[in-house]
Chains A and B, each alone.
Chain A
Amino acid sequence: MGTLTTRFSTIQDPDEKHKFLLNMGPQHPCTHGVLRIVLEMDGEYAMGIDPILGYGHRMHEKMAECRQWSGFYPNTGRIDYGGAIPYNHGYCALIERMAGIEVPERAEYIRVITVELNRIASHFLGVGAYVIDLGAFTPILYMFDDREDILDALEDITGSRLTYCHHRVGGVSKDIDDLFIKRTRAIIKNIRSRFDMYDRLVTGNIIFQKRTKDVGIIPVEMARRYGATGPVLRGSGLGFDIRKNEPYSVYPEFDFDIPTGENGDAFDRYMVRMLELEQSLRIIEQALDKLPDGPVMAKVKRVKLQPGDCSFSVEAARGMLTYYLVGDGSNVPYKLKIRVPSYSNLSLLEELCKGSLIADLVSAMGSLDLIIPEIDR
């Protein structure tokens, strides 16, 4: 901020009247929450981009250090409200790895099914909101229609619609029933039948293509430099996915592909998300077919966090999510660090959009699919 105010004083120069500072956010509809970006404009070109974070800071990491480990369950559902279940999963798997708890196989399958359903819901939210940013209002209504079915099904087993708290250390809190399986199969069929419609509505649209193709190109080298993960990295052409590269849970048992883009522009990132929907549907289908019987909760005795540290990574809807925990022998975490994907994805915005039109900045930022409370934590 300091550098910008000094720059601002130089902008007062009468010869540079076309230069001005512009606040994008904290209430800008495209920032999806409370992200403020100070833009140093030169006419319609953004020459300086300075994201200012912290409006949604809720001290999640500190909260984890102030209560016993089980008290962090509800927080995991509230860090990323778009795709909360992978956060549930990561935290439970972390404690399980630390305490050496075996999870029943049925519980692992249920975890995978709920995580993938949530990933689809999250991609619908992300893509729908992105298309709204670009000025098309209709597609989000169709996407929310599909998302609604998923939320209804998830509500039936988790009890909530957005801030889920379903997974537990040692399993899941509620088993799935035949109704849920029937419902999920109907959802898979319905979403598959609508891919063609989304292609006609969004992908083929000339305005959408003109606003996304060759906009916000992220080369692989740049994505790696900033630690970008998820569809942002895969859109640049590198097929890095924790589910394949560092397999966890029962993911190795499923057959699925990692879609990648070629140019690394906003259109590729959109396409990667749309193709991932199909892959998630494939995983859910296989998990429902293979779903074993048995208990959904292991017998968990009192868990003490051993002195030492442990980390666990999962593939959240927006990229790599890592929990890192330091224990001191009590049942209260000494330190919990959460590595969220959106933070790294946002950090490349400055280099990505320097000197671009403000309309392209909106398009590039929307294609990163940022969730601001996740960045602020």
Chain B
Amino acid sequence: MSHYFSEIFTGGKSLLVGLGVTFKALTSPVVTVQYPREKIDISPNMRGHIDLIKDSESKNGLHRCISCGLCARNCPCSCIVVKGEKQEGVKGKVLKIFTLEFSKCSLCGLCVESCPTSAIDFSDEYELAAFSREAFNFDLLKRVQQGDTK
């Protein structure tokens, strides 16, 4: 019988001790961020989708891509298409197509690591919700031409 009551006592005490922790938190400052209105800083190393880096000092005055296609070959998900063509009077290939099918991308970063000229990097965009799958087919060349990249 005494065991029964002592258990009720210790059990009740343990519940009060646990509640004490939550009551203490009640008076501590709010940590919730009201997301669409407030935003927290994201890490500069976050991996968003890839982007061609804008480089006005490069040979073509826009980006450093030499259309070698190493990124496309190393991509495990085959989501990058790179095509370049020869043009008269220009040394090397000229980049014509650079597209990314982001819905397939698994953000492993093998393309960025394999690039011999460091022409691509991760963007810091993360608000990418859309209604159609086609919205995730990014034309990276167009983006760098329009100046949408960082």
| Interface residues in chain A, defined as those with a beta carbon under 8 Å from any beta carbon in chain B | 67, 70-75, 77-78, 138, 142, 145, 152, 155-157, 159-160, 163, 165, 168, 173-174, 197, 200-202, 204-207
Contacts and interface: CB of A to CB of B under 8 A. Distances in A.
A252 B32 CA distance: 42
Nearest to B44: A156
B45 A156 contact: yes
Nearest to A71: B76
A73 B108 contact: yes
A202 B22 CA distance: 12
A204 B17 contact: yes
Nearest to B106: A74
Contacts of A157: 45
Task: Report the 6 A-B pairs with minimum CB-CB distance, sorted nearest first.
Answer: A206-B11, A71-B76, A159-B47, A74-B106, A74-B108, A165-B108
Nearest to A297: B113
A155 B46 contact: yes
Given A74-B107, A165-B107, A206-B11, A155 B76 contact: no
B90 interface: no
A62 to B, nearest CB: 14
B109 A165 contact: yes
B76 A72 contact: yes
B74 A201 contact: no
Max chain B C-beta neighbours (<10 A), residue from A75, A145, A163, A206: A206
Contacts of B46: 155, 159-160
Contacts of A145: 31
A200 B107 contact: no
Nearest to A136: B18
A173 B108 CA distance: 10
Interface of B is mostly: helix
Interface of B: 7, 10-12, 14-15, 17-18, 20-22, 25, 31, 43, 45-47, 74, 76-77, 106-110, 113, 122
Contacts of A74: 76-77, 106-108
A72 B77 CA distance: 10
A356 B99 CA distance: 57
A72 B97 CA distance: 27
A72 B76 CA distance: 7
A159 to B, nearest CB: 4
A16 B83 CA distance: 71
B116 to A, nearest CB: 15
B22 A138 contact: yes
Given A72-B76, A165-B109, A206 B47 contact: no
A200 B18 contact: yes
Max chain B C-beta neighbours (<10 A), residue from A75, A142, A160, A202: A160
A129 to B, nearest CB: 18
18 contacts: A70-B76, A73-B76, A73-B108, A74-B76, A74-B77, A74-B106, A74-B108, A75-B76, A77-B108, A142-B21, A142-B25, A156-B45, A159-B107, A159-B109, A204-B14, A205-B14, A206-B14, A207-B15
